[in-house]
Amino acid sequence: MSRADLVYYTVLVEAGPSLRLHTHTHTHTHPVSVSLGSRRVLELLQLLCLCSGASDSPDMMPNTRLGKRSPFGLLVGSSCPESNKTSIAKATGTGQQGISRIRGHCDLKVYFQCGGAGDSQNDTVAKSTSCSRSISSCIDVPRSRTAQQEVDMDELMAAMVLSSLSCSPPPALQVSAHKQTAAPSMDSGTIELSDSSSSGYWSVDRGPRNPAPPSPTAEANGRSPTPPDEGLDMDLDQVLFEEPAPRKRRNSLKVAYRCLWPSCGKVLTSLVGIKRHIRTVHLCQGGEHERCSRSEEDFYYSEINQWDEPRHQSPPSAPLCGPVPTSPTPSPPPPFPPSPPSPNCSALSRSAPSPCSSLWQVQSEHSYQAPPPGHTVSPAAATSCVTALPTICSRQETVSRVRSVSVGEQWLQHQSAPCRRIRSEAKKCRKVYGIEHRELWCTACRWKKACQRFLD
DNA sequence: AGTGCCGGGAT
DNA sequence: ATCCCGGCACT
């Protein structure tokens, strides 16, 4: 699993209680603020702690987060008094294991990964805390003293649910500046969910990223490395346990719900349906009445997103935007087929190896390669191509925990791949004038560039 | 081998 | 921005 699949969660429970949940990947963060009922917060955290094998031994509680680039980093929030430092938890994406610490009620940070191994790029974990220490990415996971080997399935599933949920793209969450200040929010039931995940499949092109990781000091002060907040508080039930508001959802993004009950995996498209399924099929089996409590089923399903197909169809006659052979997967794109030129395409579009690369080439090419007036690439056309780029992801099922490469990465792949113009059948200056009349060639031909006089 | 032209260096 | 060329892909 690639480092991009890693998502780290920082759960901060502050007096009130309020909960802050951060997700980190190797890229930047997206603070999101949501609200959650205090009971839910406590339930969630309790389940997380239990699931991860809570340990109360204080010696296991470092004052600092683990390694700067370690996925297992942890730190108790600096905003909380020592006495209130509570617990950390780490769990894999499958929720099999984790570590957690003291039971507290003030400040809690939970780090767990959704899967994969740590990577040196995951310095975002380090950003979230003030102090850090280096630690190997392979550390022994402390187990709880009691029943380490047999974690209660409910708790396990709860962690899985949270894990999958947090791994899911946060389309329904409005990004907000994370104001994790030393003064914890006192309004009960407030959750700040900072999502640093740049899970690629739903970020088409984020543009230039901030390569400089935020300073740990800033993190220690509870400031998010993300841009200023446009955020809004949301009901955490809506985020964690209920169907997200449709208005927040991207176009054509279908939502389904997968049952996380072991050996089930049933997928239903309605929230009510999945809840009923869990409640009736799993929870209420064997007369476990207490499990039939309301909202219990919330922990046993995860939301999965799926794009409509096709999400966006670029016009076939769009200049420079021919068929898109690219794949949403990180695998290298197939070699450009020397397909016959389309009558609707300009010379550039036909000769370019790929729509994306052609676009960029046009924008960066020398001026002598500028197409004739009839083939002028207007900014609008270029924009249309750019905006059509998400098409490459149209067939991608954006299931949680699945990350695709970003458009930028795909573009880099294209650049790395050999791409040349298809050999032109048209006359060129060399053919027309001959090598002996080189002075009659267009400058492009003279400079061994693409002929601008006899365009294809 | 001839051709087209990409990529990059030099100015 | 312009000029130039090495080198590669293709015919």
- pLDDT tens for each residue of A290-343: 444 555 667 677 777 655 443 333 333 333 333 333 333 333 333 333 333 333
Q: Identify the residue whose Cα has the smallest distance to the C1' of C11.
A: A423
Name the region of A119 (left: φ>0; alpha: ψ -120 to 50; beta: rest). Answer: beta
Q: What is the pLDDT of residue A306?
A: 57
Token pair of A277 as six digits? 């399924």
Paired strand residues for A18: A14
By C1' distance from the Cα of A357, the closest nucleotide is B6
Q: CA A265, A269, A275, A280 torsion: positive or negative?
A: negative
Say how far A446 CA is from B11 C1', in Å.
18
CA dist A456 and A439 (Å) reads 21
pLDDT at A94 (0 to 100): 33
Nucleotide nearest to A369 (CA to C1'): B5
Distance in Å from C8's C1' to A418's CA comes to 9
Element (H, E) at A383: helix A379-388
Interface residues, strand C, Cβ cutoff 7 Å: A 338, 366-368, 418, 420, 422-423, 443, 446-449
User: Which residue minimizes Cα–C1' distance to C3?
Assistant: A447
Report pLDDT for A186: 36
CB-to-strand B under 7 Å, chain A 49-78: none
A223: CB within 7 A of chain B nucleic strand: no
CA of residue A369 to C1' of nucleotide B10, angstroms? 20
- Nearest CA-CA partner of A393 in A336, A334, A335, A327: A327
CA–C1' distance A326–B3 (Å)?
29
CA separation for the pair A351, A426 (Å, rounded): 12
**3-class secondary-structure state, position A193:** strand
Bases on strand B under 7 Å from any protein CB: 3-8
Among A330, A332, A390, A394, which residue's Cα sits nearest to residue A3? A330
Distance from residue A346 (CA) to nucleotide B9 (C1'), in Å? 30
d(CA A415, CA A405): 15
Closest residue to C9 by CA to C1' distance? A420
A193 vs A426: CA distance, rounded Å: 59
pLDDT at position A159, please? 52
Say what the pLDDT of residue A6 is.
36
- Provide the pairing of β-strand A190-195 with A301-307: unpaired
CA distance A156 to A85: 23
How far apart (Å, rounded) are the C-alpha atoms in residues A97 and A262?
A: 16
Determine the pLDDT at residue A421: 58
CA angle A321, A324, A325 (to 5 degrees): 145
**Distance measured from the CA of protein residue A348 to the C1' of nucleotide C11, in angstroms:** 20
**CA atom of A193 to C1′ atom of B11, Å:** 54
- Is A294 near strand B, with its CB below 7 A from some atom of it? no
Measuring from the CA of residue A421 to each C1' atom, give the nucleotide at the shortest distance. B5
User: Where do we find the tokens 């809840």?
Assistant: A275
In whole angstroms, B10 C1' to A379 CA is 31
Residues 6+ positions from A141 with CB-CB distance below 8 Å: A53, A90, A97, A98, A99
Q: Name the closest residue (CA) to the C1' of nucleotide B6.
A: A420
Å between A424 CA and B3 C1'? Answer: 10
CA of A390 to C1' of C6 (A): 37
**What is the spatial distance, in angstroms and rounded to an integer, between the CA atom of A339 and the C1' atom of B1?**
26
> A423 beta carbon < 7 A from strand B?
yes
Q: Which residues of chain A have pLDDT under 50?
A: 1-38, 41-42, 44-45, 47-155, 158, 161, 164-251, 286-292, 308-419
* Predicted local confidence at residue A422, as pLDDT: 59
Instruction: Specify the pLDDT at position A53.
Output: 40
A395 vs A272: CA distance, rounded Å: 27
Query: How many Å from the CA of A378 to C1' of B9?
Result: 30
pLDDT for A148: 41
Instruction: Report the Cα A207 to chain-centroid distance in Å.
Output: 15
* Cβ count near A59 (within 10 Å): 7
Is the CB atom of residue A387 positioned under 7 angstroms from any atom of strand B?
no
How far is C-alpha A120 from the chain's CA centre?
18
Cα gap A196→A278, rounded to integer Å: 31
Return positions of chain C under 7 A from a protein CB: 1-11
**CB A413: neighbour CB atoms within 10 A?**
17
Find which nucleotide's C1' atom is closest to A448's CA. Answer: B5
Helix (H, G, I), strand (E, B) or coil at A305: strand
| Distance measured from the CA of protein residue A433 to the C1' of nucleotide B11, in angstroms | 29
Q: Which two tokens stand for residue A374?
A: 């009839």
A157-196 as b/e: b if 16+ CB within 10 A: bbbbbbbbbbbbbbebbbbbbbbbeeebbeeebbbbbbbb
- Enumerate residues 6+ apart whose C-beta is below 8 A from A94: A115, A160, A163
